[in-house]
């Protein structure tokens, strides 16, 4: 499988605000491609209607005053729900945090003792095999045994940092580091990438990517960062502000070029022994989220629902997710869609998936 650094696969809750990922940074040019430039569709056709294959409505012992929980999954089976605000107000003594876990994809939920239920701010992080809670200002609490016990740390827990992958961008330095079990150590040889944004790895390829004033840059390593090869990235059709390296569930490596406002349709490249530009004819002008999902496809949510870039063209897809859902992929390849009142799990390959809606409410 793939080591992914700072995946949005692993998200967090900041009450009252949601934070999509933790704070670490996430390659280069050829002459412009002679292929046709992508074109935006003023009003893309809506996707075909779709229904959920299953709805799992969880009920837990929570007072009516609690607001909707933050629900997070690390794979299709393992998830957590954190109730941490009441009647629209932030957490406090009159609103202690309540924590629940599921081992069966949201069919049932177990009560877990929160190690520090009264705090000014509550956050939840999860990754395969662990859950990490931040209860400000008291510290971090991490469990690797399903919530049976928690270990407190003042700073970010080593277990959480390790879960972000062997190779990561060292915050505040713009350098690639390797996790040695205790700390991130800068690689002796750094990738030749100005304005480094991200690093991602598969079993045989390490990719560093970034975007500067002159465009996107990338470099790859096949020996775990002991040496690097600068790899040209075909020039995008429009400006790219941030370049993310992302790994699909089938290990395909992609570059996603975010636009300056992060909402315009991104530029896309795929690694095929070199970076190849992936056009997306008739794409929507605005997007909410984008995620490589395998089988050479990239999924998108936007104002008109869900779609996918397939064979160089944006195509609406019959998924039961709307413009309010934000897509990521989990470590087991499941598509995870977060909405305002639910989460949706999509198990399968490419765009062929079985969709399960999960809700958690108080009795």
Check residues 203 and 350 and name the one with the higher pLDDT: 350
Residues 277-331: pLDDT tens digits?
999 888 888 999 999 999 999 999 998 899 999 998 999 999 999 898 999 999 9
Note whether 62 and 115 are within 8 A (CB): no
- Looking at residue 346, what is its pLDDT? 98
Question: What average pLDDT score do residues 120-125 get?
Answer: 96
Q: How far apart are CA 124 and CA 50, in angstroms?
A: 31
Q: Which of the given ranges, 170-174, 181-185, 201-205, 230-234, has the highest pLDDT on average?
A: 230-234
Closest CA relative to residue 107, chosen from 74, 72, 78, 87: 78
* Whether pLDDT at 10 is above 80: no
DSSP secondary structure, 35-74, as one string: SPPP-EESSPPPPPP---SEEEEEEE---TTB-PPEEEES
Going through 78-234 in order, the beta strands assigned E by DSSP cover: 79-83, 98-102, 110-112, 121-127, 130-136, 139-143, 151-153, 167-170, 175-179, 184-186, 196-201, 206-212, 215-221, 229-230, 233-234
- Looking at residue 1, what is its pLDDT? 39
- Looking at residue 12, what is its pLDDT? 37
* Whether pLDDT at 252 is above 80: yes
- How many Cβ atoms sit within 10 Å of the Cβ of residue 35? 12
Question: What average pLDDT score do residues 11-29 get?
Answer: 35
Question: What average pLDDT score do residues 253-258 get?
Answer: 97
Note whether 56 and 105 are within 8 A (CB): yes
Helix (H, G, I), strand (E, B) or coil at 288: coil
Confidence of residue 90 (pLDDT cuts 50, 70, 90): confident
Closest CA relative to residue 324, chosen from 345, 300, 340: 340
> pTM (2 decimals)?
0.85
Closest CA relative to residue 52, chosen from 109, 104, 126, 106: 106
- Domains in the chain (CATH in brackets) are 12-362 (2.130.10)
- Looking at residue 363, what is its pLDDT? 81
Long-range contacts of 117-123 (CB under 8 A, 24+ apart): 118/91, 118/92, 118/93, 119/91, 120/90, 120/91, 120/92, 121/14, 121/15, 121/90, 121/91, 122/13, 122/15, 122/82, 122/84, 122/91, 122/97, 123/12, 123/13, 123/14, 123/15, 123/19
Q: What is the mean pLDDT of the chain?
A: 88
Question: What average pLDDT score do residues 109-129 get?
Answer: 97
Confidence of residue 39 (pLDDT cuts 50, 70, 90): low
Q: How far apart are CA 209 and CA 212, in angstroms?
A: 10
Confidence of residue 17 (pLDDT cuts 50, 70, 90): very low
Check residues 110 and 38 and name the one with the higher pLDDT: 110
- Please give the structure tokens belonging to residue 121: 């701010």
Residues 332-359: pLDDT tens digits?
999 999 998 899 999 999 999 999 999 9
């Amino acid at each position: 499988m793939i080591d992914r650094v700072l995946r949005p696969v692993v998200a967090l809750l900041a009450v009252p605000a949601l934070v999509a990922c933790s704070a670490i940074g996430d390659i280069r040019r050829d002459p412009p491609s002679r292929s046709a430039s992508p074109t935006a569709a003023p009003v893309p056709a809506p996707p075909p209607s779709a229904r959920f294959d299953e709805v799992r409505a969880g009920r837990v012992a929570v007072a009516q005053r609690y607001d909707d929980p933050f629900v997070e999954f690390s794979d299709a089976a393992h998830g957590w729900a954190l109730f941490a605000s009441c009647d629209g107000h932030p957490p406090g003594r009159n609103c202690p945090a309540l924590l629940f876990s599921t081992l069966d994809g949201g069919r049932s939920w177990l009560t877990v003792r929160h190690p520090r239920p009264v705090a000014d701010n509550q956050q939840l992080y999860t990754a395969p095999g662990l859950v990490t809670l931040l209860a400000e200002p008291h510290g971090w609490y991490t469990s690797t045994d399903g919530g049976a016990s928690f270990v407190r740390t003042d700073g970010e827990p080593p277990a959480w940092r390790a879960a972000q992958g062997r190779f990561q961008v060292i915050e505040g330095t713009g350098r690639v580091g390797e996790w040695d079990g205790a700390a991130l150590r800068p690689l002796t040889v750094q990738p030749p990438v100005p304005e480094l944004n991200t690093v991602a790895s598969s079993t045989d390829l390490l990719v560093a990517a970034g975007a500067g004033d002159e465009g996107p840059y990338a470099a790859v390593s096949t020996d775990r960062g002991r040496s690097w090869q600068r790899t040209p990235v075909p020039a995008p059709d429009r400006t790219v502000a941030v370049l993310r390296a992302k790994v699909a569930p089938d290990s395909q490596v992609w570059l996603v070029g975010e636009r300056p406002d992060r909402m315009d349709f991104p530029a896309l490249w795929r690694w095929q022994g070199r970076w190849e530009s992936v056009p997306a004819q008739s794409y929507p002008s605005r997007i909410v989220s984008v995620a490589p999902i395998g089988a050479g496809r990239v999924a998108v949510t936007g104002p008109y629902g869900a779609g996918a870039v397939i064979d160089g063209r944006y195509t609406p897809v019959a998924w039961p997710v709307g413009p309010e859902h934000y897509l990521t992929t989990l470590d087991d390849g499941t598509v995870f869609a977060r909405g305002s009142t639910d989460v949706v799990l999509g198990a399968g390959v490419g765009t062929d998936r079985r969709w399960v809606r999960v809700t958690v409410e108080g009795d």
